[in-house]
Structure 1
């Protein structure tokens, strides 16, 4: 029995079949995410509280974001897609030239490379959302990019 692996070329892409294997991750739960405090670098840069869910994902990330009362974030864009699920509060997201209002229970899609920013409609209460992004996947491929208006441009 030969242990030599067959070399494939681009003509053979239809002949390659995935051989998945289970690799036990170092961590499968991150308890009390918000009790660890905000991620200072990103919270300062994004000008609103950001809590990272610290799990060993290679393709998707999850963060908990917050908007303080009456707060508006910087305009920014990135090469990865984002889906926001609003947990608390009410606000808006401006994507390029369209502004959509949201409240708890709504989900918002932000396409890759679209200029966007978020705002809290309430002057007294914070808003909170969960953001899921494919940033790790693009970082692993070396093509993740983020631009902040006023910092990078």
Structure 2
């Protein structure tokens, strides 16, 4: 178990990092592990969490069904999407950012956003990388879902 530091432990902050072996280094067959029930229900599209012991970044695989538009939401952490397949757009505040497979999209912190799959036939999939764990560990990660929190 990792030590939790408090203000009395300031003298234990060293100039040289120490390697601590994590509990695991690989999460095999991420999508076969299944959707994250609560997150998928809130976002109204499938979300698969990459389950690794990161403290600063997270990675998820998001799926959009043909024609699907997600709920608007915002959060205090940044997001970078990498589109694996499909075509659509991400609405960031009042701007539509159109994307297709191979594109990367940046979503700034606290920007209202949602995602739309423009195809009525084909699904869209993307990888989302976020600094949510870092902000969660600092106690400053917030997420707001339109329709749930407003």
Q: What is the rounded CA distance, in whole Å, between the counterparts of 1:114 and 1:19 in structure 2?
A: 37
1:12 paired residue number: none
Q: Which deviations, in whole Å up to 9, do the C-alpha atoms of 1:67-89 show, x marking residues without a partner?
A: 00000000000000000000010
Q: What is the rounded CA distance, in whole Å, between the counterparts of 1:44 and 1:17 in structure 2?
A: 43
Q: Which deviations, in whole Å up to 9, do the C-alpha atoms of 1:123-149 show, x marking residues without a partner?
A: 011100000000000000000000011
Give unpaired runs (5+ residues) of structure 2: 1-9
Q: Which deviations, in whole Å up to 9, do the C-alpha atoms of 1:39-73 show, x marking residues without a partner?
A: 11110011000000000000000000000000000
2:42 paired residue number: 45
Q: In structure 2, the residue corresponding to 1:64 is in which secondary structure? A: strand
Q: What is the rounded CA distance, in whole Å, between the counterparts of 1:35 and 1:100 in structure 2?
A: 30
**Deviation at residue 19 of structure 1 after TM alignment:** 1.9
If the length of structure 2 is used for normalisation, what is the TM-score? 0.90
Hey, which bits of structure 1, 4+ residues long, moved more than 6 A? Answer: none
1:3 paired residue number: none
Q: In structure 2, the residue corresponding to 1:30 is in which secondary structure? A: coil
Tell me how large the CA RMSD over aligned residues is: 1.2
2:112 paired residue number: 115
Q: What is the rounded CA distance, in whole Å, between the counterparts of 1:77 and 1:116 in structure 2?
A: 6
**2:25 maps to 1:21:** no
**Deviation at residue 17 of structure 1 after TM alignment:** 6.0
